[in-house]
Amino acid sequence: MPSFSAGASPQKQQQFARWRQLIRQQRKSLPIASVEKRLVEEVRKNDTLIIVGETGSGKTTQLPQFLYDGGFCQDGKVIGITQPRRVAAVTVAKRVAEECNDQLGKKVGYSIRFDDSTSNATRIKYMTDGLLLREALWDPLLSKYSVIVVDEAHERTVHTDVLLGLLKKVQHSRANANKNGKTLPDVQGHSQNLTLKECQGIRCAPLKLIIMSASLDAKCFSDYFGCAKAVHIQGRQYPVDILYTYQPESDYMDATLVTIFQIHLEEGPGDILAFLTGQEEIESLERLIHERARLFPPESSRIWVTPVYSSLPSEQQMNAFKPAPAGTRKVVLATNIAETSVTIPGIKYVIDPGMVKARAYNPVTGMESLIIIPVSKAQVLQRSGRAGREGPGKCFRLFQESEFDKLVDSTVPEIKRCNLSNVVLQLKALGIDDIIGFDFIEKPSRTAILKSLEQLILLGALTDDYKLSDPVGHQMARLPLDPMYSKALIVSSKFKCLEEMLIVVSMLSVESIFFSVREKLEEARAARKGFESSEGDHITLVNVYRASAECLEKSRNANAKEKTMEKALNRWCRENFINYRSLRHARDVHSQIQGHAQQMGLNLSSCGDDMVLFRRCLTSAFFLNAAMRQPDGSYRALATGQSVQIHPSSVLFRTKPDCVIFNELVRTTQNYVKNLTRIDPLWLAELAPQYYTTEE
Ligand code: ADP
Ligand code: MG
C-alpha cells in the first residue's frame, strides 16, 4: 500500500486515489463479483452452503466482504474463515484489509498459532483450521461467529476433517438450542468454559456454514451435510501449454534449476512459479539460483527470487505478491501452498517437479514419518492452472508424459495417514468421548484410533478408562503443541529444566536451523562445531539458541534500537551458518509457549550445567521414540521394531551411541531418525516403567 497520511502531498494523494481505483477495478473484474447478490441470498436461505470455484475466482478474499456488507456481522458477530495453512491466513487477511482500506487488526484480522492480529473490532477473521478447533475448547458453541467458512476443504487436512465434524455438531446444537432453549443469565448466550454437552439449552443464534473448495468434486461435502446445496462459480482460465521431459529426471532440484534459467533466457516476459517440497529445498535452490545468476553479465536481465512456505515470516511472504522490480523476472519458489491457497499475480510459467512432502503413518506401529512422494493428478492439474490465470501460459512438468497416467487421482485425506493423538486429545477435551463413533467425513482406521488412545494413556493424558486425566490431560490439550511436546514441557517442569525444554520444543517446531553453502562447507562445519554437544542434537540446539540470545543481549546493552538489534542478529546468523528466518520463528514460538507455560503455573527453572538431568528429562518425555544400536551399526526403534539409521545431519552420526531418543523419522531410501540425544538404556525402565520393564 503506498504510504499515505493526512498531510500528504497532492502528488501522493493522487497516487493513493489511483491505487484505490485499481483495487476497485481488480475486485470488480473477479468472476465472483457478478454473483455477489445471489451468493448472499443463498447463504441467507441455506444453513449450509458449498461453494466450488476455480482458484483465483475471488472466493477467499471476496465472499467474507460480501457477507459483511450483507449484514451478517450485526450484533458484533464475526465471520470466521479457516485456512489449512498459516501463510494463506496471513496474506489473505492483509490483502482484504487493504481492499477495505483499513488497518490490519481492525475490521479484518488473522489469528494463527503463535501470532494473533485480531482485536475486539475484528469482524472478518482469517485463521487456521487448527486454531478454530482450539477456540472450541474455550467456547464450544463458537458463539461469537455468525458464519464460519471452511476454505480449501478439498485439501482435506486432518484439521479440516475434524473441524467439519465438530461444526456439524455445533450447528446442530445451536439450531436445537434456539428451538427449545433458554438464555442462561450467567452465560448470556455464550458458552465459555462449558463442554458441548453442558451447552445444551443455551440460546445462541444459528450458525451458517460455508464449505469452499477449488475442486469440482463437491458431492462428498454435500452428502456429509445432508444434501447441502452446492453453488459453482465460473472461473476464467487461459490455455496452458503443457511440456513433459523426454527422459526421467534423476534429480528434480537440478532439473528445476536448469528449467528456471532456460525459461529466463529463452522465453518472453512473465514470472515463474516452481513447486518444491519444503523450506530446505526452497532455500537451497534459492542459493543455487543466486550462485548461477552471478555468472551472467551484469547488463542481462536479472532474476528476483521470492520464497513462499508456511513458516516464512509474514513480511517476507508478502514479497511474492509484489510485482517484480523493473528489469527483473520474479521467480517464486513455493511449496504446494501455491496450488490453491494463495494466488500469486504475474505467473506465466509453472515448473512442476511432481513431488510433495507428505505425512505417512503406520497405524500398527503408531509411527508417523515425513516422506517425499509423487503428487496426485488433481494437484498436477491445479499446478498447471496457475500458469493461465492472467493470460496464456506454459507448464513444465519435470517428468515423462507416461508418468502422469500412473499418478493417483487425488490425495488420500490426511486423517488416514497421520498420527491421531492430537485429534483424539482435542476431541476428548471437547467432551466428545466416543472417538470411534464420531461422525468423521471419512473415518480413520479403527487401529489408528486405538493406537492413539494407547499412546495418550502412555503419555498420561488419558486414564485407563479413556478419560482425560486431571490435570495432565487437560494441560496437554490446552497447549498448542503435539501431545509429546506438551508432555515434555509438563515433565520438564517437574525435572526443573523447563527453561531448556522450552528452547528445545521451540527449536524443534521450525525447520532447518543450520544451513551451509556448497563453496563454504568447511566454514559451516567449523561454525557448527562451536555449538555442538557430544550429548546430542537437543543440547546443541539449546547452545545455538543461547548464543543467539547473547548476541541480542549484547546489542541491547549497547542501547541499540529494535531494528539494529535484528540486523546484528541477522549478521551473527550469517557468520555462524544459522538460518535467520528459522531462528526468528523459533524465538516467536518460544515467547508464545513460555506464555502458555506460565499461565499453566509451570515451574520455569533451569538445570544449569546438569546435562544428565536434562537427558533424563528428555528420556522421560520422548521414551516412545527410543532406539538401540544393533550389532551391524544400524538402530532398532524400540516401540515399533523398525530398523532406522542416524541421519547424517545429527551430531551423533559418527559417534553412534548405544541408545538414543529421537524426535523425527524421515523416510527416503531408508528410515532416518533426526534430532537425537544419547541416553542410558537403563533410564527407560526407570523413567517410563509404564512402557519398559527391566529384563530379569
Ligand atoms: P480464490 O480464493 O477463489 O482462489 P482469491 O480470493 O484468493 O481467490 O483471489 C482473488 C484475486 O485476488 C486473485 O486473483 C489475485 O489477483 C488477488 N489477490 C489475492 N491475494 C492477493 C495479494 N495478497 N496481493 C495481491 N493480489 C491478491
Ligand atoms: Mg482461496
pLDDT for the residue numbered 44? 96
- What does the pLDDT look like over 462-472, one tens digit per residue? 999 999 999 99
For the ranges 3-12, 338-347, 385-394, which has the lowest average pLDDT?
Answer: 3-12
pLDDT for the residue numbered 216? 73
Q: What is the 3-state secondary structure (H, E, C) of 589-643?
A: HHHHHHHHHHHCCCCCCCCCCCHHHHHHHHHHHCHHHEEEECCCCCEEECCCCCE
Residue 324 main-chain phi, psi, to 5 deg: -65, 140
Q: How many Cβ atoms sit within 10 Å of the Cβ of residue 109? A: 26
Write down the pTM of the prediction: 0.87
pLDDT for the residue numbered 555? 87
Rounded mean pLDDT, 435-458: 94
At 474 the three-state DSSP class reads: helix
The H or E element spanning position 138 is helix 129-138
pLDDT for the residue numbered 189? 42
- What does the pLDDT look like over 183-216, one tens digit per residue? 443 343 445 556 666 666 566 788 999 999 988 7
In terms of Cβ atoms closer than 10 Å to its own Cβ (0-12, 13-18, 19+), residue 14 is exposed
Distance from residue 215's CA to the centre of ligand 2 (Å): 11
Residue 508 reports pLDDT greater than 50:
yes
Q: What is the 3-state secondary structure (H, E, C) of 486-555?
A: HHHHHHHHHHCCHHHHHHHHHHHCCCCCECCCHHHHHHHHHHHHCCCCCCEHHHHHHHHHHHHHHHHHHH
- What is each CA distance from 187 to 194, 360, 419, in whole angstroms? 10, 43, 36
CA-closest residue to ligand 1 atom 23? 95
- Nearest-angstrom CA–CA distance, 470 and 461: 8
56 lines ligand 1 (CB under 6 A): yes
Rounded mean pLDDT, 139-157: 95
Distance from residue 56's CA to the centre of ligand 1 (Å): 6
Rounded mean pLDDT, 127-153: 94
- What does the pLDDT look like over 334-378, one tens digit per residue? 999 899 888 898 999 999 999 999 988 877 776 778 889 999 999
Residue 542 reports pLDDT greater than 50:
yes
Rounded mean pLDDT, 516-520: 72
pLDDT for the residue numbered 192? 59
pLDDT for the residue numbered 179? 61
Distance from residue 331's CA to the centre of ligand 1 (Å): 18
346 lines ligand 1 (CB under 6 A): no
At 244 the three-state DSSP class reads: coil
pLDDT for the residue numbered 66? 98
pLDDT for the residue numbered 184? 42
CA-closest residue to ligand 1 atom 24? 321
Residues 6+ apart with CB under 8 A from 636: 627, 628, 630, 642, 643, 644
Ligand 1 atom at shortest distance from the alpha carbon of 318: 23
User: Strands 145-150 and 108-112, how do they pair?
Assistant: unpaired
- Nearest-angstrom CA–CA distance, 228 and 224: 8
At 683 the three-state DSSP class reads: helix
Q: Are 333 and 274 in contact (CB under 8 A)?
A: yes
Whether the bond between 471 and the residue before it is cis, its omega within 30 degrees of 0, is yes
For the ranges 52-66, 173-187, 652-666, which has the lowest average pLDDT?
Answer: 173-187
* Percent of the chain residues past pLDDT 70, beyond the cut: 94
Q: Are 50 and 222 in contact (CB under 8 A)?
A: yes
pLDDT band at 5; cut points 50, 70, 90: low
Nearest to 411 by CA among 447, 375, 458: 375
- What is each CA distance from 352 to 233, 260, 400, 611, in whole angstroms? 26, 11, 12, 46
* Percent of the chain residues past pLDDT 90, beyond the cut: 70
pLDDT for the residue numbered 178? 62
What is the secondary structure of 213-235 as a DSSP string? ESSS--HHHHHHTTS-EEEEE--
At 158 the three-state DSSP class reads: helix
- Give me the chain's average pLDDT, please: 90
Domain ranges of the chain: 10-233, 240-411, 479-605, 622-696
30 lines ligand 1 (CB under 6 A): yes
pLDDT for the residue numbered 629? 97
Residue 527 reports pLDDT greater than 80:
yes
- Nearest-angstrom CA–CA distance, 219 and 229: 10
Rounded mean pLDDT, 432-457: 93
Instruction: Check if the interface score ipTM surpasses 0.85.
Output: yes
Rounded mean pLDDT, 97-123: 94
Instruction: State whether the Cα torsion 94-96-100-106 is positive or negative.
Output: negative
61 lines ligand 1 (CB under 6 A): yes
Distance from residue 59's CA to the centre of ligand 2 (Å): 5
348 lines ligand 1 (CB under 6 A): no
345 lines ligand 1 (CB under 6 A): yes
- Nearest-angstrom CA–CA distance, 398 and 260: 12
Q: Nearest ligand to the C-alpha of residue 53? A: 1
What's 10-233's CATH class? alpha beta
Q: What is the 3-state secondary structure (H, E, C) of 179-217?
A: HHCECCCCCCCCCCCCCCCCCCCECCCCCEEEEEECCCC
pLDDT for the residue numbered 313? 73
Q: Are 647 and 531 in contact (CB under 8 A)?
A: no
For a pocket test of ligand 1, which of 22, 39, 57, 61 has the largest count of ligand atoms closer than 8 A to its C-beta? 61
Fold classification of 240-411 (topology level):
Rossmann fold (3.40.50)
Q: Are 120 and 76 in contact (CB under 8 A)?
A: no
pLDDT for the residue numbered 676? 97
Residue 389 reports pLDDT greater than 60:
yes
For the ranges 206-220, 303-317, 409-423, 498-512, which has the lowest average pLDDT?
Answer: 303-317
Distance from residue 222's CA to the centre of ligand 1 (Å): 26
- Nearest-angstrom CA–CA distance, 82 and 89: 8
pLDDT band at 500; cut points 50, 70, 90: very high
Nearest to 124 by CA among 61, 182, 171, 184: 61
